[in-house]
Chains A and B, each alone.
Chain A
Amino acid sequence: MVEWTDAERTAISTLWSNIDVGEIGPQALSRLLVVFPWTQRYFSTFGDLSTPAAIAANPKVAQHGKTVMGGLEIAVKNMDNIKNAYAKLSVMHSDKLHVDPDNFRVLAECITVVVAAKFGPSVFTAGFQEAWQKFLAVVVSALGRQYH
C-alpha cells in the first residue's frame, strides 16, 4: 500500500478541487499527440490529427481527453487502494485497447505540464509537484499492473 503524508494528501486534494477535467483533459491529450506524435497510432478513428491546430480543435480529442482526465477521480476517491481500484481498467487497456503502458507515463508528464502552466509557480510549488507526480506515478503503475 502507498503511504501518503498529510502534506501530500492536502496537495493532491487542493490541486484536484481546482482542476476542471473538461479544461485540463483536452489540453493534456492534445499536448500528448503533439509532443509525442507516435501516440496518434491509437487514435486512427479520430479524424484530422495532421497539425497541432487540427488536434487542438478536434472534438473527439477533446471528449476523450475529458474522459481520461475524469478517470483520475477513481484514484482521488481511493487513495489508499489505487492498485485495486484500477484493476478492471488495467485489464481493459491491456486486452481490449492494447495500449503500451509506457504511454501512461508519458501522458502523466503532459498532464503535469498542463497543470503547471495553469497554476503557475506559487501554487504548483516543488512540494506540490512532488505529491502530484507521486500520485500520477501510482495511477500509472496501477494501470499497467494487470498486463500479462
Chain B
Amino acid sequence: MLSKKEKKLIKEIWERLTPVAADIGSDALLRMFASYPGTKTYFSHLDISPGSAHLCSHGKKIVLAIAEGAKDISQLTVTLAPLQTLHAYQLRIDPTNFKLLSHCMLVTLACYLGSEFTPVAHAAMDKFLSAFAAVLSEKYR
C-alpha cells in the first residue's frame, strides 16, 4: 500500500529522471543482462551491447512508461492498459523477469541518487515497481 507521501515522492523522482530516461533505462537493462543472462533471450532481435542505439531507445521507452505511471499511481490500470495487452498477447515476457528488471532499476537509482535514495525512498520505489509489474501482468491469464 502506498501512502500519499510515498506517491508524491515517487512522482517527484521520476519527473526528475525523465530528462535522462535513456541513461537510466539503458543502465538498468545492462545490469539486468549482466546479472541475469536469461533475460537476454527476449532481445535476440536487437543490438543490446553497451551504448547501442537499440539499448538507449529501449531503455528510454521503459523509463518513460514508468514515469507516466508514476504521474497518477491510482490510475495505473488505466494508464497501462495498452501495455498490458502488448505484454500479454505479443511480448509474453515471463513475469518473473519484471522482478529482475525492478531490482536492477533500484540498483541504478541507488547509483545515480546516492544517499538521496534513502531507505524510505527505496521502500516506496520497491512497492511502486512491484505494483507496476503486477498491473503489467494482469492480462496474462
CB-defined interface of A95-126 with B at 8 Å, one 1/0 digit per residue?
00000000000000100111011111100101
- Taking the complex as formed, is B111 at the interface, i.e. its CB lies under 8 A from any CB of chain A? yes
CB-defined interface of B100-141 with A at 8 Å, one 1/0 digit per residue?
000110111011111101111011001000000000000000
- Taking the complex as formed, is A52 at the interface, i.e. its CB lies under 8 A from any CB of chain B? yes
- Asked if A120 and B111 make an inter-chain contact with CB atoms under 8 angstroms apart, the answer reads yes
Q: A117-B114, A120-B114, A126-B30 are in contact. Are A30 and B107 (CB under 8 A)?
A: no
- Asked if A30 and B119 make an inter-chain contact with CB atoms under 8 angstroms apart, the answer reads yes
- Asked if A130 and B126 make an inter-chain contact with CB atoms under 8 angstroms apart, the answer reads no
**Which DSSP category, helix, strand, loop or mixed, fits chain A's interface?**
helix
**For B114, what are the chain A residues with a Cβ–Cβ distance below 8 Å?**
117-118, 120
- Asked if B113 and A109 make an inter-chain contact with CB atoms under 8 angstroms apart, the answer reads no
Q: How far is the CA of A112 from the CA of B35 in the complex (A)?
A: 13
Q: A121-B27, A130-B34 are in contact. Are A35 and B122 (CB under 8 A)?
A: yes
Q: Which of B30, B107, B118 has the most CB of A within 10 A?
A: B107
In the complex, how many angstroms separate the beta carbon of B100 from the nearest chain A beta carbon? 11
- Taking the complex as formed, is B33 at the interface, i.e. its CB lies under 8 A from any CB of chain A? yes
Q: How large is the interface on A (under 10, 10 to 19, 20 to 34, 35 or more residues)?
A: 20 to 34
- Asked if B35 and A129 make an inter-chain contact with CB atoms under 8 angstroms apart, the answer reads yes
- Taking the complex as formed, is A34 at the interface, i.e. its CB lies under 8 A from any CB of chain B? yes
- A67-95: which have CB < 8 Å to B? none
- Asked if B33 and A117 make an inter-chain contact with CB atoms under 8 angstroms apart, the answer reads no
Between-chain CB contacts (< 8 Å), 29 pairs: A31-B119, A34-B122, A35-B119, A35-B122, A52-B120, A55-B119, A56-B119, A109-B103, A112-B107, A113-B106, A113-B110, A113-B117, A116-B110, A116-B111, A117-B111, A117-B113, A117-B114, A117-B117, A119-B111, A121-B108, A121-B112, A124-B111, A126-B35, A129-B31, A129-B35, A129-B104, A129-B107, A133-B35, A134-B35
